Amino acid sequence: MRQGATEKTEWKVGDLAGRTGLSVRTLHHYDEIGLLSPSGRTGLGHRLYSAGDVLRLERIRSLRALGLSLEEIRGCLEDPGLSVRGLVELRVSGLREEIRLRQELLRRLEAVAARLRPGEEEVPAEELVETAMEVIEMSERIEKYYTREQLEALEKRRQDVGEERIRAAEAEWAGLMEEVRREMEANTDPAEIRVQRLAARWMGLVKEFSGGDPGIERSLGNMWHQEETIHGIDTVEVRGMMEYISRASAASNRQD
């Protein structure tokens, strides 16, 4: 927060975004998941953040800077007895693993560079390196969130399902996310039957990917909650969709 930010007593979402450097979308997401909800509203329904809300946001940003996930931050804020030290130590372990992966990345890139002798490559070296980095970066993420056993299960699942079905499922995901986005923009109640049907399709695709393994589903969720982008997709938006789908599923369960 810039100096002088606490001189005001209330901030609109745009003002708060400008002062903190966060996006309006991120603040909206924090509100949607109940991590930081504004204390007030204007007569037109616009969000108004109090000084107490700003202090909570500062704590959220501090914990985020330590590498904690939004779910871990929520736990820290809602349960004062939760050990921040323990969570930070887990993050330290994660960083050690990231360093190991970065060292492996360096080794692979050095090997690529050694093979790219001037005048022999048909593809520009920059393109080859960029491709290699993209592949390795995704590999690092997968290794970070999935156990060896889970990766073996996913590979077997991929072989069983086949490339044709995988490509079809990817197209289904794109269309489904667009439908969910439209319902969210229209402020459709998650309890509406058409949203519950979207939720059923969403969960069906997740189970198809995971083979119904709850551990793989948790690892998948952790990756989407902790990374900023995946395959060029803004994870903040997807996390909002996941929360929306979760509410629709909960509403469906209550009606059963």
The amino acid at residue 150 is Q
Whether 151 maps to a domain, the answer reads no
Query: How many domains are there within the chain?
Result: 3
116/129 same-domain check: yes
- The answer, yes or no, to whether residue 2 has pLDDT greater than 50, is no
Which residues constitute the domain of residue 247? 161-256
Whether 173 maps to a domain, the answer reads yes
Q: For residue 161, what are the contacts with CB-CB under 8 A and spacing of at least 6? A: 208
72/96 same-domain check: no
* Interatomic CA distance for residues 44 and 54, integer angstroms: 21
19/55 same-domain check: yes
What is the percent of the chain with per-residue pLDDT over 90, rounded to a whole number?
19
Q: Can you give the pLDDT at residue 223?
A: 84
Whether 206 maps to a domain, the answer reads yes
167/253 same-domain check: yes
pLDDT digits (tens, 9 = 90+) for 143-164: 777 777 777 788 788 888 887 8
Q: Can you give the pLDDT at residue 219?
A: 86
Please give the model's pTM, rounded to 2 decimal places: 0.47
91/58 same-domain check: no
Whether 111 maps to a domain, the answer reads yes
Q: Can you give the pLDDT at residue 100?
A: 64
180/136 same-domain check: no
- The answer, yes or no, to whether residue 123 has pLDDT greater than 50, is no
Q: Which of 126, 134, 19, 37 is nearest to 78 (CA)?
A: 37
Residue that the structure tokens 């920059």 belong to? 126
